[in-house]
Amino acid sequence: MLILLLLPVFGLFIWWWYHLDCDLETYIALKFGRSIDTLQGKTIWITGASSGIGEGLAYVLASVGCKLVLSATNESKLQDVAKRCVSIGKYDSKNVLVLPFNITDSECHQKMLDKVLQHFNKLDILINNAGRSQRASFIQIEPEVDKQLFDINVFGLVNLTRVVLRYFFEQNIDGQFGVTSSTAGLLGVPFSASYTGSKHALHGYFECLRTELGRRTISITMFCVGPVFSNLLEKAFTGETGKVVGGKQPVQSSRKLSSERCGYLMAVALANRIDQSWISLQPVLTIHYLAVYFPQIFRKVFPFFFNEKRSQEFRDG
């Protein structure tokens, strides 16, 4: 009798788990935590804002009245994003600053921050979202590819963070850093060794910073994001220097999260100052849990299911 009573409960749990697109802490914050409206009026700088996750996040933040700084290398795309942000936010165009630059040019980072402060007088949150992906087997990757990918995905972001952190310290601001990591920051995603290494490196740098901050009220949120609909493949590294995967933007898949839904969940994590937020549809979200909480079992089982073809399907949702 007890089993019969529990079956519907178990069925409801399975249905709920299947439709879950974030970790439990983020889900609780989504349902019962601070609203993203609490971000209204904050000045937020997003790198990698011309497409994908950064673009989706920009639209969400514009909808609640945030002042935005949009950065990437493609100025024309940034202008398009800015126009839509103004339309969504229903506020003056002065509330959106387009600031194109190359994240790998560390010499310009202080100048870029100065421009932000000249325009808005204050910065509250930096979103480290710039980055590029990769498709290549471990044995085929040239050393120069490792260096180039780390320059973009790690060293550029880390240096910009140091520049902004000094500003937070000097002005005694309770600032925030958001860092776009990935499933690859939690486990070894096959056929993306340089990319996976770069995301693990981000966790190392920012967890170290979190510890050093101690009792300071500056917070860091790591976004571990699964497959999201974007054009990352266009400029994704391969194993060969100067060669990219290329190809057109894929068709929206039901197993890939939309960039705006991803952006909304990121905004929830920011509003609630969550340390680490996992954002993904199933089954990738479950893979996050298995990799973190059952690592020994995961390491033995995972390789049997992921050859190169299966790995590609995994990333394509």
CA distance 251 to 234: 14
The DSSP code sequence of 188-209 is --TTBHHHHHHHHHHHHHHHHH
Whole-number percent of the chain with pLDDT over 90: 74
Q: Tell me if residue 98 falls in helix, strand or coil.
A: strand
pLDDT beyond 80 at 54: yes
Active site residue 195: yes
Q: Is the pLDDT of residue 237 over 80?
A: no
Q: How far is CA 124 from the centre of its chain?
A: 18
- Domains belonging to the chain, first-starting first, are 24-315 (3.40.50.720)
Mean pLDDT value across residues 3-30: 87
Q: How confident is the model at residue 247 (pLDDT cuts 50, 70, 90)?
A: low
* Per-residue DSSP letter, 252: P
Instruction: Report pLDDT for 120.
Output: 98
Question: According to the model, what pLDDT value does residue 134 have?
Answer: 86
**In the predicted structure, residue 246 carries a pLDDT above the cut 60:** yes
Confidence of residue 243 (pLDDT cuts 50, 70, 90): low
Q: How far, in Å, are 40, 138, 149, 263, 269 from residue 52 at the CA level?
A: 22, 26, 18, 9, 18
**Catalytic entry in 91, 195, 264, 293:** 195
Of the CA atoms within 13 Å of residue 217, those in its CB half-sphere come to: 6
- Helix, strand, coil abundance in the chain, percent, nearest 5: 55, 15, 30
In this predicted structure, the answer to whether residue 32 has a pLDDT above a threshold of 60 is: yes
pLDDT at position 249 over 60: no
What is the pTM assigned to this prediction? Answer: 0.93
pLDDT of residue 256: 86
Q: What is the pLDDT of residue 113?
A: 99
Give the separation between CA 185 and CA 192, rounded to whole angstroms: 11
Higher pLDDT, 305 or 141: 141
Q: At 117, list the tokens.
A: 């402060």
pLDDT tens sequence across 223-232: 999 999 877 6
